[in-house]
Amino acid sequence: MQIFGLDIGGSGIKGAPVDLDRGDLAEERFKVLTPQPATPDGVADGVRQVVEHYGWRGPVGLTFPGVVTGGATIRTAANVDKSWIDTDARALFGERLGGHPVTVVNDADAAGVAEMHFGAGRDRKGTVILLTFGTGIGSAVFIDGALVPNTELGHLELHGHDAEKRASSKAKEDEDLSWEHWAHRVQKYLAHVEMLFSPELFIIGGGVSRKSHKFLHHIEGIKAEIVPAQLQNNAGIVGAAMHAAESDG
């Protein structure tokens, strides 16, 4: 079974048809840059461009980098234009895609669901936290496999700063930090999250997951197991498609 999954990020919009039996992309993903400013109309045009690249006809699952309530309404917009707040994203994307059935879910929640089903969190009980490091820091919290949606732990305050301003991969790039220096910031952030939630497992996702060998060994003093996401930066696409398939019944 194939469903289209699409992952909207602060820097890129990427998608592909997903083979839900294998939990992997059915074709090579296609990506366009997120427009700046990332307004609803601009992002919707990017979404349409990605979907039309494949000539796709059918349900489309989308992720969004912020809190999504009721499967449609955007409540936060930390790394996209503030005009997203209170937008009915499902209606916007549905109209722009010519009436295709559309679902919208928080981006890290989608990535987490995919990792719990097909990847590093498979068959893991207790508290598992996936953290995606990209333009910001997304989070997905699971208790015995059940998702606690829209946690947004990237916005915890750490040493007087929004945590993602210090420890996201964008912060690493903007400040030209070495992998070791950045890993020490990530370590402080993980220690803070661990103090609050005492997870058994941290799954590190986002684009940096494919470079885990460059930084994970620098992270020390964390009691929880720390592993890279197995689906790497495709987890959000796969999770978006899973959400669409579930909603489609």
Say how far residue 19 (Cα) sits from the centre of its chain.
Answer: 19
CA distance 90 to 247: 13
Q: Is the pLDDT at 231 greater than 60, yes or no?
A: yes
6, 62 contact by CB (below 8 A): yes
Residue 248 binned pLDDT confidence (cut-offs 50, 70, 90) = low
Question: What percentage of the chain reaches a pLDDT higher than 90?
Answer: 96
Residue 51 binned pLDDT confidence (cut-offs 50, 70, 90) = very high
Fold category of 121-230 in CATH: Nucleotidyltransferase; domain 5 (3.30.420)
Strand partners, 174: none
- Residue spans of the domains in the chain: they are 2-109+234-248, 121-230
CA distance 68 to 99: 20
Residue 169 binned pLDDT confidence (cut-offs 50, 70, 90) = very high
Lowest mean pLDDT among 14-23, 126-135, 174-183, 240-249: 240-249
Strand partners, 61: 5, 103
Per-residue pLDDT at 249? 52
Select from 26, 199, 221, 14 the least CA-distant residue to 121: 199
74, containing H or E segment: strand 73-74
Fold category of 2-109+234-248 in CATH: Nucleotidyltransferase; domain 5 (3.30.420)
The full length of the chain comes to 249
Same fold, 2-109+234-248 and 121-230: yes
Residue 159 binned pLDDT confidence (cut-offs 50, 70, 90) = confident
End-to-end CA distance of the chain: 13
Question: Distances in Å between the alpha carbon of 184 and those of 25, 154, 216?
Answer: 33, 16, 10
Q: Is the pLDDT at 141 greater than 60, yes or no?
A: yes
Select from 189, 150, 139 the least CA-distant residue to 71: 150
pTM for this model (two decimals): 0.95
Burial zone of 108 (CB within 10 Å; 0-12 exposed, 13-18 middle, 19+ buried) = buried
Select from 90, 78, 29, 21 the least CA-distant residue to 56: 29
If you ran DSSP here, which 8-state letter would residue 142 be given?
Answer: E
The amino acid present at 225, given as its one-letter code, is E
Residue 247 binned pLDDT confidence (cut-offs 50, 70, 90) = confident
15, containing H or E segment: strand 12-19
Select from 66, 73, 78, 76 the least CA-distant residue to 109: 66
Select from 157, 124, 111 the least CA-distant residue to 225: 124
Say how far residue 46 (Cα) sits from the centre of its chain.
Answer: 17
Q: Is the pLDDT at 113 greater than 90, yes or no?
A: yes
